[in-house]
Amino acid sequence: MLQIKSIIESLLFASKGPLNVEEIKKVIPDAEKEEIKAVLNELKNEFEKRNGGFVLHEVAGGFQFRTKPEHKEYIHRLFQPSPARLSKAALETLAIIAYRQPVMRSEIEHIRGVNAGNTIRLLLERKLVRILGRREIPGRPIVYATTQKFLEIFDLKSLKDLPTPKDIDDLQTASKPDDQSLPFKSESADPSTSENNS
């Protein structure tokens, strides 16, 4: 029999999206979950140490081979034209949906103060958000949530990994150039507080 490590590596290589332990287990039923987990971590370390063009990255609850950010310039040159970047409106709408999910269109519009129909449509088309169902209030409005692909695209391990909003004090000083360059300050605010689960 082939080495499990080699098999797992080929699966990660051939898969379209990140693979998790359960998905690998389904393909190699003989392997123990613990064993798979160990191999994944071993591979991750190995590719990191190799310092080549790509690494095994942990994202959206699974593992996926990805190039390193420092190569982007060259890869963009290889793929012309590069995909359209998300607009500010799309990012803001996405942030609201991510934080407030499940959320209605009217709630998004209430926060942003502008019509959100087209932006939601775009996010649906790009599969970054999905229709979760309807809210049981008059009119039965549709409620939206983020997708697995949202996690994959924005390099999040899970929704718990979402960036926390800035504190109000930080928001006010954000216009000063010095403050803007601050890296992610780990906020004291717990991501699971008020904003997260209304």
Partner 1 sequence: MVNEPYTIKLQDIFEGPMDLLVHLIKKNEVDIYDIPIAFITEKFLEYLEWMKSLDVDIAGDFLVMAATLAHIKSRMLLPSRNEGTDTDEDDDPRKEITGPLIEYMQMKSVAEKLARQPILDEDVFSRNVEKYNLVHDPSEETLQVDLTSLLSTYRSLLDRIADQKGLRITFEGISVKEKMTELIDIIKEKGAVAFDSLLSDTPDRIEIILTFLAILEIVKLNMVRLIQSSPYGNLRLIHRKADDARLQN
* Binders in 153-182 for its own copies, by CB under 8 A: 155-157, 160-161, 163, 167-168, 170-175, 178-182
In angstroms, the CA 83 to CA 63 distance is 23
Q: Which of 41, 45, 118, 192 binds partner 1 (CB under 8 A)?
A: 192
Q: H-helix or E-strand containing 91?
A: helix 88-100
In angstroms, the CA 154 to CA 123 distance is 14
Given its own copies, partner 1, none, residue 118, with its beta carbon under 5 to 8 Å by kind, binds its own copies
Q: How many residues bind its own copies (CB under 8 A)?
A: 69
**3-state secondary structure (DSSP) of residue 110:** helix
Query: Residue 146: what are its φ and ψ, rounded to 5°?
Result: -85, 165
Q: What is the largest CA-CA distance in the chain?
A: 62
Q: What are 97's two structure tokens?
A: 């949906």
Identify residues 44-83 at the interface with partner 1 (CB under 8 A). 57, 64-69, 72, 75-76, 79, 81-83
Asked if 7 touches its own copies (CB under 8 A), the answer is: yes
Asked if 43 touches partner 1 (CB under 8 A), the answer is: no
Shortest separation between residue 17's beta carbon and partner 1, angstroms: 8
In angstroms, the CA 51 to CA 60 distance is 23
Nearest Cα to Cα of residue 196 among 119, 174, 115, 187:
187
Asked if 48 touches its own copies (CB under 8 A), the answer is: no
Asked if 77 touches its own copies (CB under 8 A), the answer is: yes
What would the x/- binding string for partner 1 be over residues 82 to 121, using CB under 8 A? xxxxxxxx-xx-xxx-xxxxx-------xxxxxx------
Q: H-helix or E-strand containing 72?
A: helix 72-78
Region of 61 (left: φ > 0; alpha: ψ -120 to 50; beta: rest) is left
What is the DSSP pairing of strand 129-134 with strand 62-67?
A: unpaired
Shortest separation between residue 163's beta carbon and its own copies, angstroms: 5
Given its own copies, partner 1, none, residue 100, with its beta carbon under 5 to 8 Å by kind, binds partner 1
The binding site for its own copies (CB under 8 A) comprises: 2, 5-15, 23, 26-28, 51-54, 65, 67-68, 70-71, 74-75, 77-79, 105-106, 109-110, 113, 115, 117-118, 120-121, 124, 131-134, 139-142, 155-157, 160-161, 163, 167-168, 170-175, 178-183
